[in-house]
Amino acid sequence: MDLTRRLGIRPGGRFAFSDPPVRFRDDLGPLPESAVELSLGDDDLSCIVLFVKTRSDLSTALGPAVRVLAADGALWIAWPKQLSGYATDVSAEVVQAAGLKHGLLDTRRLSLNDGWTATRFIVRLDDREAWSKRSFDE
């Protein structure tokens, strides 16, 4: 199964990547018909993949991503594997704690390639109706 399908990018899907590694798009394979890559500034995204190398990156990127995630969407948080050559202070435990803190449920872990691992988060089924109606007044 190709990486696009494993990430849950579906036909007609709205997806975004935040700070992907240079060759990540090559690893994806062909996109499904009518799937649209947008930015994290767009609302109601069905699939988001955040690439973070540090806890600071994670802290900065996660809030804005959660705000634009569709209620039935998936948010993947990817971090460098220990042997990737990147200096990182991010681990599976750090990622899990950050997602849970934002009200998300971690459901799956995936090796994206030789250098990156990701955990998928979703909105809990019982929270989806409220999630769709939420607002972020600042």
Q: How much is the pLDDT for 136?
A: 60
Q: How much is the pLDDT for 83?
A: 80
Q: Of residues 1 and 110, which shows the higher confidence score?
A: 110
The mean pLDDT of 42-53, rounded to a whole number, is 96
Q: How much is the pLDDT for 109?
A: 97
Share of the chain above pLDDT 70, in %: 96
Domains along the sequence of the chain with CATH: 3-130 (3.40.50.150)
Q: Evaluate whether 130 touches 74 at the Cβ level (below 8 Å).
A: no
* Band of pLDDT at residue 138, cut at 50, 70 and 90: very low
pTM summary value: 0.93
